Structure 1
Amino acid sequence: MTRAGVDPNWPHVVIVGAGFGGLAVAQRLARAPVRVTVVDRNNYHLFVPLLYQVATAALSPADVAEPIRHVLGRYPNIRVVLGEVTQVDTDARHVALATGETLQYDRLVVATGSTSSYFGHDEWRRHAPACKSIEEARVIRSRVLGAFEEAERDGAADREALMTFVIVGGGPTGVELAGSVAELARYALTSDFRRIRPETAKIILIEGGPRILAAFPDSLATYAERALARLGVQVMTNMPVEAIKAEGLTAGGQFIPARTVLWGAGVAPTGAAKLLGIAPGPGGRVAVRPDLSVEGLENVYSLGDVAACLDEDGKPLPGLAQVAQQQGEYLGKALRRQLTGGAAPKPFRFHNRGNAAIIGRHAAIFDFGRFRMKGYPAWMLWAIVHVVLLVNFAQRIRVSLQWLWRYLTYRRGARIITTPIGRPPG
């Protein structure tokens, strides 16, 4: 059964993944004479750039996730399917789902995003959760808050280790996690406990390279390190991680006792290349042509974190939300033209709208290439940009009000422990 006004003979576009890229493609195809099916293993679109704030009790999951059906439900030509793709037959042009359903397609778009990478040490995942999903964010929040609860107990045997928080990875994710954990301890929790002083917690940011924020200019990275120091975060560089256990981690030959270790060191694309039956490209990504079509395949496209798309200088584009969103908007327009007899589009070109990282209150950095910002102006711009990028108006109002309340009161309202204390994730 089809919706009124939707012709079953229209070309069918199947989009796998409802992240920034996949959602943008679908929205650009809305109300076109094209049938669109969006498949995702979750029923929500996740705003990953703010997920670390869920992990550190600044926001709730509903603030950064929006049901896909709510976003796309007003478009009669778009169908949403909750499911996981198990097989793609590019010769027969069909997609098989774990539920047993098979989708025939005329065009296939693969935008399945990325996952956390432990550089061949997946055994570390159990003791050092990453922050790439709502489930992981909840685990981190419970472990951070649970560490303070355990330290508050009478006769806590390893109070110093409980009050030590180590974040691995000096990129934007690690920096934002470290700054947010520091603000949680130094401001939000100061009046909540009687036997411990949360503001004395030790927060350590570990980076294997010579400096944090390697993708940013030296001046901005130096500013960020100083801003972290003002929050009490100890930055340790040239410290490659060698082992992570429940008792702590070993990096650069030094053992650091810590009951809470958080992972922000790396990401890897999902197994889209294997799903498509092709050899992975650079970094395990899917090699694509300038129009985002997959090398060696017809009528198959890929974008976002999972696609190896090169810029004008021949360098791979970074796995950023703005890259995926621009690619999605481009591909949606291109497919609309292609399937309705329009002119072929020009090759995709990425327009850098700035790379940013927030360290804490009044402290952020923005790199626009030739132009750079830091401090309070960058902090305000970061907040405005992230609110605007939220897909739902109600989310924008809700997040803005929560940030305003937090700014005025230094309080965080999502301090909920959902994982039993003392139980490692996994």
Structure 2
Amino acid sequence: MGSGFGGLFAAKALRGAKADVTLISGTTYHLFEPLLYQVASGILSEGEVAPPIREILKNRRDIDVRLGWVTDVDVAGKMVVVNYPDGRDRSVPYDSLIVAAGAQNSYFGNEQFAVHAPSLKNIDDALELRSRIFHAFEMADLEEDPEARRRWLTFVLIGAGPTGVEMAGQIAELAHRALRGQYRNADLREAQIILIDAVDRVLPAFAPSLSEKAKKKLTKLGVDVRLNTRVVDVDATGVEVKTADGGQRIEANTKIWAAGVAAPSLSTRIAEATGAETDRAGRILVEPDLTVPGHPEIFVVGDMAGSDLPGVAQVAMQGGRYAAKTVKKRLAGKTDIKPFKYFDKGNMATISRFSAVADLGKLHFGGFLGWLLWLVIHLFYLIGFKNKITTLLHWMVSFLGRGRSERITTVQQMNARNALNTLGKR
């Protein structure tokens, strides 16, 4: 279940197994989420970070790829209920079930914020944010009222983790470098990029020294970093925040939510069906071998698994591979199955062109060296030779020059998500 890092790497690792494999996904593509912010900021196209699943697995005759959303699990009957795009429900049987449905953004009980502060978790989000960002620059150029123009040129990012930091850096690059001189009436140098978080440092999952380097670089780029600041309300024209000194309103038309994730609703349904416990984020607490307690045939990997491991791609990749290898060992009659052991390859985050931070265990890199490591590693893990080449070319255009090759936006992209939510559709 799922075509993200966990699901795809599990499916690929099942090559050679004496089994029929069914891959169920709510999208037709595999999303390379670490580069999603570059789609939102006009560097890459959606196709470069989201290759089609069927193309990736075109040589795997043992895999049946199905487009649909798993809505329920019949544990006793070993069936999953899949809702297909035409609205029909179908039951799909299983002997072993690998659950890798990822995570969704958490607004911490304030779901109404999503209307005015979209998150960045999928291609639809990225295209919407790209439209909102470039639309803000266009509206600033048209606006004659200085106060209204200031609202269009103020961007608020809520959450100082990797997504918030990377988006803040890219919007600063757009306003202060890439788009400089392209607008007659709006001086983009006046753009305010404000990064807000309730924690006391940016990139809290990284080493403190790297957090400090990242903050200094952001400040140098013109980003206003406001820590120990909690968002209490979001509306169409601004954000209400609260600090130790009291409350304040920030007038801004463009807001981006990057403050946290939670398990999808499917996690709750599986927990109810299996009797498993969940953590505060709704993730299923699993055994050391990533199985659901009392149900060795059900594996939960990646962001849906409740553990002390970070919510990064490597955890899902390694978990998916481990679950697949365990299934293959069982089919071969082997019982010497060791618990899952995660090999931490570190964390990385970009701040701007030629600047990134890399936390690789005891080794910490920042600046240009950190950026080179980031570039090589992300290019290595990007799926598809064609995608690697086109991504590298777009990086050269954007990083060595000032071009943004993916600036096409539409009003439909900007408004479609809210329209679909109003209609009650996915």
TM-score > 0.5 by shorter chain: yes
> What are the equivalent positions in structure 2 for 1:262-277 lying under 5 Å apart?
262-276=256-270, 277=273
Alignment of 1:248 with 2:243, yes or no, is no
1:124 equivalent in structure 2: 113
Question: Aligned letter for 2:295?
Answer: L
> What are the equivalent positions in structure 2 for 1:36-47 lying under 5 Å apart?
36-47=21-32
Partner secondary structure for residue 147 of structure 1: helix
Does the CA contact (< 8 Å) of 1:273 and 1:279 recur in 2?
no
Which among 228, 251, 258 is matched to residue 257 of structure 1?
A: 251
Partner secondary structure for residue 101 of structure 1: strand
Partner secondary structure for residue 299 of structure 1: strand
Which of 331-340 and 221-230 deviates more?
Answer: 331-340
- Specify which structure has the higher proportion of helix: 2
Query: Aligned partners of 1:206 and 1:154: how far apart in 2?
Result: 26
Runs (5+) with no aligned partner, structure 2: 419-426
Alignment of 1:304 with 2:302, yes or no, is yes
- In structure 2, the CA distance between the partners of 1:299 and 1:422, relative to structure 1 (3 Å rule), is closer
Which of 156-165 and 318-327 deviates more?
Answer: 156-165
- State the Cα distance separating 1:355 from its structure 2 match: 0.7
Question: Aligned letter for 2:249?
Answer: F
Alignment of 1:281 with 2:271, yes or no, is no
Which of 270-279 and 363-372 deviates more?
Answer: 270-279
Query: Aligned partners of 2:354 and 2:157: how far apart in 1?
Result: 21
1:35 equivalent in structure 2: 20
Alignment of 1:390 with 2:382, yes or no, is yes
Query: Aligned partners of 1:110 and 1:319: how far apart in 2?
Result: 15
TM-score (norm 1): 0.92
Q: Provide the alpha-carbon RMSD of the alignment.
A: 1.5
Query: Aligned partners of 1:86 and 1:100: how far apart in 2?
Result: 9
2:185 equivalent in structure 1: 195
Query: Aligned partners of 2:30 and 2:413: how far apart in 1?
Result: 29
- In structure 2, the CA distance between the partners of 1:256 and 1:296, relative to structure 1 (3 Å rule), is same
Which among 58, 64, 69 is matched to residue 43 of structure 2?
A: 58
- In structure 2, the CA distance between the partners of 1:133 and 1:80, relative to structure 1 (3 Å rule), is same
Query: Aligned partners of 2:405 and 2:160: how far apart in 1?
Result: 27
TM-score (norm 2): 0.92
Which among 76, 81, 87 is matched to residue 72 of structure 2?
A: 87
Query: Aligned partners of 2:414 and 2:140: how far apart in 1?
Result: 12
Aligned residues: 405
- State the Cα distance separating 1:186 from its structure 2 match: 1.4
Does the CA contact (< 8 Å) of 2:42 and 2:404 recur in 1?
yes
2:423 equivalent in structure 1: none
1:350 equivalent in structure 2: 342
Which of 91-100 and 162-171 deviates more?
Answer: 91-100
Query: Aligned partners of 1:159 and 1:20: how far apart in 2?
Result: 41
- In structure 2, the CA distance between the partners of 1:421 and 1:147, relative to structure 1 (3 Å rule), is farther
- State the Cα distance separating 1:425 from its structure 2 match: 5.3
**Over 3 Å off, 4+ runs:** 420-425
Which of 18-27 and 400-409 deviates more?
Answer: 400-409
